[in-house]
Amino acid sequence: MFKFSALLSLVVAYASAVTLPLAGRQSGACAREYTVAPGDACNKISAAQNVSTFQLAWTNPTAIDQWCSNLRPEQVLCLGKEGKDCTDVHVVEAGDGCWAIYTGAGIPAETFFANNPNVARTCHNIYPGEVLCVASEVFDYST
């Protein structure tokens, strides 16, 4: 839970760093939705639905709290916005590092870090169970 809290804090910080208001960033149509089931958690949903943990938090800033502890059965979450929906993902395992993840996916480091703005360039803040985007297309989460 602490790790998701740190992730959501980074999402909020990222949103504050751009000049557009949060509501303006979220204005795209939802590309995919998911209905929460009993026992769901953010990383579990992300892994099962092929959506990065960052993207799940980014598309649902008012529906998911910083600990991902407020999910309730039958709650509908947006998984991705039109044109900003990474479905190529990697679930972090113990011992994974960013270099191995992005080279294994065949994408450049710049693409990996652009699609995962929550990940530090030193990669010290990824954790087992976190779901990362490994798409070759860059999704602009700043607009």
pLDDT at 143: 72
pLDDT at 128: 97
Residue 122 lies in a domain: yes
Residue 85 lies in a domain: yes
Residue 13 lies in a domain: yes
Residue 139 lies in a domain: no
Residue 55 lies in a domain: yes
Residue 141 lies in a domain: no
Residue 109 lies in a domain: yes
C-alpha dist (Å) from residue 124 to 96, 107, 120: 11, 20, 7
pLDDT at 4: 57
Residue 79 is part of which domain span?
Answer: 2-133
Going by C-alpha positions, the residue among 98, 87, 90 that lies closest to residue 131 is 90
Whether 115 and 135 have beta carbons less than 8 Å apart is answered as: yes
Residue 91 lies in a domain: yes
Domain count, the chain: 1
Written as tens digits, the pLDDT of the chain (143 aa) is 446 555 545 444 444 333 233 333 345 799 999 999 999 999 999 999 999 999 999 999 999 988 899 999 999 999 999 999 999 999 999 999 999 999 999 999 999 999 999 999 999 999 999 999 999 999 988 87
